[in-house]
C-alpha cells in the first residue's frame, strides 16, 4: 500500500525522547503546521543493521534540524527496551548519544497502519489465530509535510540498510518544490538546477544538461 499523497496515519504511543525520558502520549500531530517529519521504522532494538542506521541519522541530525525537520524512529519494541538500548554504550552494541524520539509499537498497530509489518495475522485450518511472517517492521521511511501528508516513502527488506543522505536529498527536493514551485529531475541535489513542470521546461532543462 502506498501512502504517498495521503494523510499520515496518526497515533498516540509511548516513546523515549532526548535519549532518556519516557513519555506516554507521543504523537506526530505535534509537528503539523510546524515541521516536516522523517518517520522511519526499523525491525528491532539490540540488533546489527539497525544501530548503524539510527546512529547515522543522529550524526546528520544537525542537517535535518537546520531544514526544520523532525526525525522520529519506531520499532515493535517496548519503551523500556528503547530506554535500555539508548543507555548502552555504542562500543557495547548500544546507541547511547541518540537524542531523537524512538516510538514503542509493542502492539504493532502503528506498523500495520503504515503497512510495513513483515507478516500478517491469520487463522489456521482449525480456526486458531496465528502470525505468518516476521512480527517486526520492514525498514520503512516516510517523509511527511507540514500538513501531515506523506510526500515520499521507501520500504527496504530487513537486511537492507537505508541511505540517510538520500533522506536529506528528498527533504531538499520537497522543500525546493514548496518554495519555488519547480520540480526536481533525476539525481537532483540542493543547488542544482530544477525545472518548470511543462513540456517547454523539460525541453529547456534537457538542452542545457
- Neighbour-count burial for 100-128, b at 16+ CB within 10 Å, e otherwise: bbbbbbeebebbebbebbbeeeeeeeeee
Q: Rounded CA gap, 198 and 191, in Å?
A: 21
Contacts of 207 (CB under 8 A, 6+ apart): none
- Neighbour-count burial for 27-41, b at 16+ CB within 10 Å, e otherwise: ebeebbeebbbbbbb
Q: What is the DSSP string of 9-21?
A: PP--EEEEETTTE
- Specify which residues 150 forms β-bridges with: 144
- Specify which residues 75 forms β-bridges with: 104
DSSP 161: P
Q: Is 184 marked active-site?
A: no
Selecting among 50, 74, 130, 184, the annotated active-site residue is: 50
Catalytic (active-site) positions: 50
Amino acid at each position: 500500500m502506498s501512502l504517498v499523497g495521503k494523510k499520515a496515519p496518526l497515533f498516540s504511543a509511548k516513546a523515549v525522547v532526548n535519549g532518556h525520558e519516557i513519555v506516554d502520549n507521543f504523537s506526530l500531530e505535534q509537528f503539523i503546521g510546524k515541521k516536516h517529519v522523517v518517520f522511519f521504522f526499523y525491525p528491532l532494538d539490540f540488533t546489527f543493521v539497525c544501530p548503524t542506521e539510527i546512529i547515522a541519522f543522529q550524526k546528520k541530525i544537525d542537517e535535518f534540524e537546520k531544514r526544520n525537520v523532525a526525525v522520529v524512529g519506531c520499532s515493535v519494541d517496548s519503551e523500556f527496551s528503547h530506554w535500555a538500548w539508548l543507555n548502552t554504550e555504542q562500543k557495547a552494541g548500544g546507541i547511547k548519544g541518540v537524542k531523537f524520539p524512538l516510538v514503542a509499537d509493542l502492539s504493532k498497530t502503528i506498523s500495520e497502519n503504515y503497512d510495513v509489518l513483515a507478516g500478517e495475522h491469520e487463522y489456521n485450518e482449525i480456526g486458531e489465530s496465528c502470525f505468518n511472517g516476521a512480527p517486526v517492521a520492514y525498514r520503512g521511511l516516510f517523509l511527511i509535510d507540514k500538513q501531515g501528508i506523506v510526500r515520499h516513502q521507501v520500504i527496504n527488506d530487513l537486511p537492507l540498510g537505508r541511505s540517510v543522505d538520500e533522506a536529506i536529498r528528498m527533504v531538499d527536493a520537497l522543500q525546493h518544490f514548496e518554495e519555488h514551485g519547480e520540480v526536481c529531475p533525476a539525481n537532483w541535489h540542493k543547488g542544482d538546477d530544477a525545472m518548470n513542470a511543462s513540456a517547454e521546461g523539460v525541453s529547456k532543462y534537457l538542452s542545457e544538461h
